[in-house]
């Protein structure tokens, strides 16, 4: 059962006539005879006009729709019909009110069968296409009067016994100027006009922009889409299947030219459809006459074949004349030689025809490949979506898109769609390259501009939340990416760019406001978008974006909602994981990163993010696996080598740490983190002086690097430079006031110098900043013991053992100290 039929079934109680007025005489004039059809607002009956002695059709508003709003809609339908004067529109005769208050109007009675009945009855394809071409003329007349039909379908097209075509049921027609003015009919009070986001019509024949409730991008091309959906049913026996916009499974028996006409009419983006109903009707008639259609111009040789079939007699006569010329001798050859310019022109025309043929073949491949990409995108809304299945679905279409790009490398649409395929597979670099090529070919191609801008904005967000690298450098990189993102998104939303998706335009506006730092506009745009499109595909992106601007509690709720709508929302999962890691919800962060990587394991940065959290948890094996996968994906990332070296050191492999640091410096000699890593490795191997040199170089490349100062202080202390060490510790804390390890290290130095009060203050601060800091608890125990607080020391040691990760190298020593303290306490 079609969706529209299910909807009518649900509406049946509202539309039903408990006592149909059969046999009644209405207004002393109209005798109701029989029920003809049921429509969106009531039922149509045949009736006899006793005053004029003629048959009429009478439409009566259903009893369940008798409130003023539906009455206004019913009147609007009648008024619309009076504005239209065309042979294909049934004229209205009279308008009135039944004794029970229900409205009715009468119109010309058209005996015949609907297009739906003719399709079901097996009428020939060409006859049906011809009827549809006539319907296009009628729709064009309405468009010329600035009226959209908005509910075109086979059941609303009727063909009488003489083959005349009529378009019926203008009940949800709409004035074009209402769309152009951005109004939603607040003044009329009619259903579909008053309620923002309310969508009336028949789902199977409805264009994407209307299905999403986007009034601003609705125009005459919306009716063109519906006519294309009717054509699809003529050709295949059923309307287009979901998901839109390009899932149009044309049967193998359908000729390529009429298939091309159908696909163009059904284009997801209005800019790619026929510009008018008239243009669609003209192409349908070209097909019926055997002429090349505009939707897919034929290669030159096929045009010639068609011409021969249509004008066979003329061609044979010309061929005979040409033979006579050749037989006559060399004069014809010499004359042909003198016409070399004409020959070259002919060859150039042939080359152009060949290029055009490749373009048309490429367009066909794009239309065949695009549905797989759309299905793959919708697959991500499933809670159990897996990367392997996602790739399988993408690969159903990507080779077709790739071949299209090879055939027609100057076609921006091909690069754009191929970019979408690569993005779904997690190959962001390939996607970016494709979109940049599309923009280079057509700087005004809005969809590619938007996708590239969105990708750059996402990278900017990830740079801002990165737990590794230089925060200042990350901020600079984030600002650079955001700036370029703004330029592309601004270009996407300009008039005439072809970027019409209503929800994505809201996301684009939010991205622009966020990138510009306009917090008030950002919050207003996001809130309005969520209210306007509460359940539309893509609204989850608005929830994701709001997670960057809200307070922590609201942020969590927004990100949770994004993941609830699309469980495999990669960006929302990564963002939530990063914020959870900052809040020391480490296990939850690892879970979120794991879910993100389950649907996109191809981004090395996310493996690094999860590896950092696993390292903090003490899961060194898991962290090592993450960093190694990041290096497999990007063997030239210096910071991933540094991270892996840190894990190797924690696992008792200082040689591995040194090797990774050396490799990182071979890739990037100015990498401050790599210099610090090599300095730490040298320090552990007893080369304190060499370590100081490494830390000096790290500071020269990154003067505000707190880690470099802290570790240089440790190295200086080992060389006997206690004063220099204390200065470095102080500088590290000044640069990074919330640095627990710096306070802990300085506390140890103060304790060694006999400053127990200063050491206690430092350890207290380290533990305040990180209550899970096991080593700080263990070291503070020594200070408390020396100050006579044995119970406090025991509490710290017990807490250190509870917090320490598995394999903690100090565990046995802490356990021994704890036993000794407890024994001494008992002996007292």
Q: How far is CA 192 from CA 116, 146, 174, 179, 210, in A?
A: 26, 18, 10, 13, 11
Question: Lowest-pLDDT range, 193-202, 347-356, 360-369, 756-765?
Answer: 193-202
Active site residues: 151
Is 575:465 a contact under the CB 8 Å cutoff?
Answer: yes
Cβ proximity of 400 and 369 under 8 Å: yes
Query: What is the model's pLDDT at position 66?
Result: 62
CA distances from 221 to 73, 147, 234, 280, 533 (A): 23, 12, 20, 10, 22
The residues, any chain, with a CB within 8 Å of residue 550's CB and separated by 6 or more, are 558
The tens digit of pLDDT for each residue in 9-41 reads: 443 433 344 455 676 788 888 999 888 877 656
Model confidence pLDDT, tens digit, residues 688-723: 999 999 999 999 999 999 999 999 999 999 999 999
* Dist. CA 390–CA 778, nearest whole Å: 49
Quickly count: other Cβ atoms within 10 Å of residue 825's Cβ.
Answer: 12
Which spans in 408-470 are helix H?
412-424, 428-441, 446-465
Domain ranges in the chain with CATH number 1.25.40.10: 741-828
User: 640: Cβ–Cβ under 8 A, 6 or more apart, which residues?
Assistant: 604, 608, 627, 630, 631, 634
Asked if pLDDT for residue 107 goes beyond 70, the answer is: yes
Residue 341 is predicted with a pLDDT of: 53
> Can you give the C-alpha Rg of the chain in angstroms?
37
Q: Domain 112-296 class?
A: mainly alpha
Alpha-carbon distance values, 281 to 90, 205, 289, 412 (Å): 20, 17, 12, 27
Confidence grade of residue 225 (pLDDT, cut at 50, 70, 90): very high
DSSP state of 63: G
DSSP state of 215: S
Percent of the chain with pLDDT over 90: 49
CB 781 within 8 A of CB 751: no
Is the bond leading into 378 cis (omega within 30 degrees of zero)?
Answer: no
State how far the Cα of 322 lies from the Cα of 326, in Å rounded to an integer: 6
Select from 650, 647, 651 the least CA-distant residue to 630.
647
Q: Select the highest-mean-pLDDT range: 89-103, 138-152, 202-216, 621-635.
A: 621-635
Instruction: Look at the block and give the residue holding tokens 């407890």.
Output: 822
Choose among 769, 768, 779: nearest CA to 804.
779
At the fourth CATH level, which superfamily is domain 3-108? Phosphorylase Kinase; domain 1 (3.30.200.20)
Residue 65's pLDDT band, with cuts at 50, 70 and 90, is low
Residue-wise DSSP of 74-86: HHHHHHHHHH---
| Start-to-end CA span in the chain (Å) | 87
Report which of residues 76 and 300 the model is more confident about.
Answer: 76
Residue 605 has pLDDT above 80, yes or no: yes
Q: What is the pLDDT of residues 553-581, one digit of tens each?
A: 788 899 999 999 999 999 999 999 999 99
Joined tokens for residue 386: 């897996």
Higher pLDDT: 329 or 617? It is 617
How far is residue 538's CA from residue 521's CA, in Å, rounded to a whole number?
20
Confidence grade of residue 349 (pLDDT, cut at 50, 70, 90): low
Answer whether residue 549 shows pLDDT above 90: no
741/619 Cα distance (integer angstroms): 19
Query: What pLDDT is stored for residue 791 in this prediction?
Result: 94
Contact assessment for residue 68 and residue 79, using Cβ atoms and an 8 Å cutoff: no
Question: Quick check: helix, strand or coil at residue 483?
Answer: helix
Distance (Å, whole) CA 438 – CA 445 = 7
d(CA 683, CA 691): 6
247 and 241 in contact (C-beta within 8 Å)? yes
* φ, ψ of residue 238 in degrees (nearest 5): -150, 155
Question: What SS3 class is residue 676?
Answer: helix
User: What average pLDDT score do residues 154-167 get?
Assistant: 92
| Average pLDDT, rounded, for the chain | 83
Residue 249 has pLDDT above 60, yes or no: no
The region, left, alpha or beta by phi > 0 then psi within -120 to 50, assigned to residue 224 is: alpha
d(CA 606, CA 461) in angstroms, rounded, equals: 13
Domain with CATH 3.30.200.20 in the chain: 3-108
Please state which CATH class domain 741-828 belongs to. mainly alpha
pTM value > 0.75: no
Task: Reply yes or no: is the peptide bond before residue 245 cis, omega within 30 of 0.
Answer: yes
Q: What is the pLDDT of residues 473-491, one digit of tens each?
A: 888 898 899 899 999 999 9
């Amino acid at each position: 059962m079609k969706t529209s039929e299910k909807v009518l079934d649900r509406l049946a109680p509202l539309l039903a006539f408990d006592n149909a007025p059969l046999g009644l005489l209405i207004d002393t004039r109209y005798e109701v005879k029989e029920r003809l059809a049921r429509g969106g607002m009531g039922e149509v009956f045949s009736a006899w006009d006793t005053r004029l002695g003629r048959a009429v059709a009478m439409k009566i508003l259903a009893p369940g729709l008798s409130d003023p709003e539906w009455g206004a809609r019913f009147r609007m339908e009648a008024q619309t019909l009076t504005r239209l004067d065309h042979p294909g529109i049934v004229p209205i005769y009279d308008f009135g009110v039944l004794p029970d208050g229900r409205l009715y109007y009468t119109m010309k009675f058209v005996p015949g069968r609907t297009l739906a009945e003719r399709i079901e009855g097996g009428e020939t394809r060409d006859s049906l296409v011809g009827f549809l071409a006539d319907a296009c003329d009628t729709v064009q007349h309405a468009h010329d009067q600035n009226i959209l039909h908005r509910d075109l379908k086979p059941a609303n097209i009727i063909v009488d016994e003489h083959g005349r075509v009529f378009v019926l049921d203008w009940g949800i027609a709409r004035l074009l100027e209402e769309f152009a003015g951005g109004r939603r009919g607040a003044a009329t009070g009619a259903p579909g006009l008053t309620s923002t986001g309310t969508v009336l019509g028949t789902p199977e024949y409805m264009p994407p922009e209307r299905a999403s409730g986007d009034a601003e991008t609705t125009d005459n091309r919306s009716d063109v889409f519906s006519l294309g959906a009717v054509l699809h049913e003529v050709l295949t026996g059923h309307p287009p299947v979901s998901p839109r916009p390009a899932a149009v499974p044309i049967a193998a028996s359908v000729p390529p030219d009429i298939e091309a006409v159908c696909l163009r009419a059904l284009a997801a983006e209005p800019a790619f459809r026929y510009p008018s109903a008239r243009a669609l009707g003209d192409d349908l008639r070209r097909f019926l006459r055997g002429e090349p259609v505009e939707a897919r111009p034929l290669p030159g040789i096929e045009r010639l074949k068609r011409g021969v079939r249509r004008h066979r007699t003329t061609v044979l006569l010309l061929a005979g004349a040409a033979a006579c010329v050749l037989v006559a001798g060399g004069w014809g050859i010499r004359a042909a030689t003198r016409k070399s310019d004409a020959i070259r022109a002919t060859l150039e025309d042939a080359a152009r025809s060949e290029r055009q043929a490749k373009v048309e073949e490429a367009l066909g491949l794009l239309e065949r490949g695009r549905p797989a990409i759309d299905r793959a995108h919708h697959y991500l809304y499933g809670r159990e979506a897996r990367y392997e299945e996602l790739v399988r679905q993408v690969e159903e279409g990507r080779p077709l898109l790739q071949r299209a790009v090879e055939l027609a490398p100057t076609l921006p649409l091909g690069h754009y769609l191929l970019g979408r395929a690569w993005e779904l597979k997690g190959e962001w670099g390939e996607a970016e390259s494709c979109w940049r090529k599309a923009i280079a070919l057509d700087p005004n191609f809005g969809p590619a501009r938007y996708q590239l801008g969105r990708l750059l904005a996402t990278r900017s967000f990830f740079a801002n939340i990165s737990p590794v690298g230089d925060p200042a450098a990350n901020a600079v990189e984030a600002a650079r990416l955001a700036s370029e993102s703004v330029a592309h998104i601004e270009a996407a939303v300009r008039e005439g760019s072809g970027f019409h998706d209503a929800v994505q335009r809201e996301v684009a506006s939010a991205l622009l406001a966020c990138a510009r730092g306009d917090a008030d506009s950002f919050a207003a745009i996001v809130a309005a978008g969520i209210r306007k499109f509460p359940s539309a595909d893509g609204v989850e992106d608005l929830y994701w974006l709001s997670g960057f601007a809200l307070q922590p509690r609201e942020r969590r709720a927004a990100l949770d909602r994004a993941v609830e709508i699309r469980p495999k929302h990669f960006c929302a999962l990564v963002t939530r994981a990063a914020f959870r890691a900052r809040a020391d919800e480490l296990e939850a962060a690892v879970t979120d990163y794991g879910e993100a990587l389950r649907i996109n394991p191809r981004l090395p940065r996310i493996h690094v993010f999860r590896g950092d959290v696993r390292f903090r948890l003490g899961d060194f094996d898991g962290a090592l696996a993450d960093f190694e996968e990041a290096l497999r994906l990007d063997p030239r990332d210096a910071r991933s080598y540094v991270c892996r070296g840190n894990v190797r050191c924690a696992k008792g492999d200082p040689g591995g740490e040194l090797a990774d640091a050396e490799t990182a410096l071979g890739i990037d000699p100015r990498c401050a983190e790599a210099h610090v890593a090599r300095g730490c490795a040298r320090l552990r191997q007893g080369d304190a002086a060499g370590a100081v040199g490494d830390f000096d170089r790290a500071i020269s490349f990154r003067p505000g690097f707190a880690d470099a100062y802290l570790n240089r202080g440790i190295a200086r202390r080992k060389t006997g430079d206690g004063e220099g060490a204390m200065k470095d510790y102080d500088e590290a804390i000044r640069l990074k006031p919330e640095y627990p390890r710096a306070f802990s290290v300085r506390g140890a130095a103060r304790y060694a110098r006999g400053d127990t009060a200063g050491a206690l203050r430092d350890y207290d601060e380290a533990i305040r900043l990180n209550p899970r800091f096991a080593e700080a608890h263990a070291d503070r125990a020594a200070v408390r013991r020396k100050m006579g607080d044995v119970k406090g020391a025991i509490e710290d040691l017990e807490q250190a053992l509870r917090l320490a990760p598995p394999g903690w190298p100090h565990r046995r020593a802490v356990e021994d100290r704890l036993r000794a303290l407890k024994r001494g306490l008992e002996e007292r």
